[in-house]
Amino acid sequence: MTTQTPSITATTMGKRSWLNLAGWSAALVVLGWAWQGTEMQPGLLVENAGNMATLASDFVPPSFTNLGHYIEQMLVTIQIAIWGTLLAIVFAIPCSLLSSDNLVPWWVYQPMRRLMDACRAINELVFAMLFVVAVGLGPFAGTLALFIHTTGVLAKLFSEAVEATEAGPMEGIRVTGAGRIEEIIFGLIPQVLPLWISVSLYRFESNIRSATVLGMVGAGGIGVSLWETMRGFQYTETATIMLVIIVAVTALDMASQTLRKRFI
């Protein structure tokens, strides 16, 4: 740190520590502000410890009489996640290309990005409620909800990968006289494909988790049973459902992770 130009170093250091101080203060203010908003009362946890113990004891022992039904519902949940993700991938590919500033002019990527922002901003549960109204109760509404939200997420992640690519390979294809789409297929896609696959699988994992709650608003899957048993205070059933969810999500996460590793 001590060089031939101590005065400059000192001023930059001074500036640094000022910035540091300001940064930390700002962070503390935000944390305090959020604490107020969330009405945090850790004391309640201690005060109501008794209640919580009673509640927890209601969950044991899990009841396995309806296990078959829950497993079936879990499979529906997985099916929702599969199709929701797959449709999203198919639509996210063109949408991401159209939101990349190295491929299209600003008057294409700006509107496309805003559209994708909107898809992403609204939670899948909200979309699910809307689709339940539109197409009726059941897994189809859930699939559509996941599809729209995930398209927004994947389009952004895909296009970030596209914007990080090198221009060289695409130029290499361009000068052979090939068209714009060939340029993308041969020059761009090979560069982004591993990342796209890995991001899609990751999204599939998180979509399974999201799909487990879609049923709570009537959009199919295991969430329906989850909601019903909780509302009926059948906590031993709820416990079984939770176990099914934990086992399925963990297994699929692990499977998808091993797959992902092969593509990076």
Hey, what are 253's tokens?
Answer: 């996460």
User: Would you count residue 169 as binding another protein (CB under 8 A)?
Assistant: yes
User: Would you count residue 61 as binding another protein (CB under 8 A)?
Assistant: no
Please choose, out of 20-28, 168-176, 204-212, 223-231, the segment that lies near another protein by the rule CB under 8 A: 168-176
Give 231's contacts (C-beta < 8 A, 6+ positions apart). Answer: none
Q: Which is nearer to another protein, 47 or 166 (CB)?
A: 166
Q: Which is nearer to another protein, 33 or 106 (CB)?
A: 106
User: Would you count residue 94 as binding another protein (CB under 8 A)?
Assistant: no
Secondary structure element (H or E) that encloses residue 231, with its range: helix 223-231
Distances, alpha carbon 70 to alpha carbons 76, 189, 203, 209, 243, in Å: 10, 41, 24, 15, 10
User: Would you count residue 185 as binding another protein (CB under 8 A)?
Assistant: yes
x-or-dash string of contact with another protein, 127-166, rule CB under 8 A: ----------------------------------------
Give 184's contacts (C-beta < 8 A, 6+ positions apart). Answer: 97, 103, 170
Query: Shortest gap between Cβ of 113 and another protein (angstroms)?
Result: 26
DSSP-derived secondary structure for 52-119: HHHHHHHT-SPP-TTHHHHHHHHHHHHHHHHHHHHHHHHHHHHHHHTT-TTTS-HHHHHHHHHHHHHH
Which of 117, 160, 182, 228 contacts another protein by CB under 8 A? 182
User: Would you count residue 193 as binding another protein (CB under 8 A)?
Assistant: yes
User: Would you count residue 177 as binding another protein (CB under 8 A)?
Assistant: yes
Question: What whole-number distance in Å separates Cα of residue 195 and Cα of residue 156?
Answer: 13
User: Would you count residue 176 as binding another protein (CB under 8 A)?
Assistant: yes
Please choose, out of 4-12, 84-92, 172-180, 211-219, the segment that lies near another protein by the rule CB under 8 A: 172-180
User: Would you count residue 175 as binding another protein (CB under 8 A)?
Assistant: yes
Q: Which is nearer to another protein, 20 or 102 (CB)?
A: 102
Cβ–Cβ < 8 Å for 184, 107: no
User: Would you count residue 121 as binding another protein (CB under 8 A)?
Assistant: no
Query: Shortest gap between Cβ of 173 and another protein (angstroms)?
Result: 6
User: Would you count residue 187 as binding another protein (CB under 8 A)?
Assistant: yes
User: Would you count residue 45 as binding another protein (CB under 8 A)?
Assistant: no
Nearest to 93 by CA among 167, 173, 180, 156: 156
Hey, what are 264's tokens?
Answer: 């990076």
Give 225's contacts (C-beta < 8 A, 6+ positions apart). Answer: 66, 69, 70, 73, 215, 237, 241
User: Can you give the binding site for another protein, defined by CB under 8 A?
Assistant: 168-169, 171-179, 181-182, 185-187, 190-191, 193-194
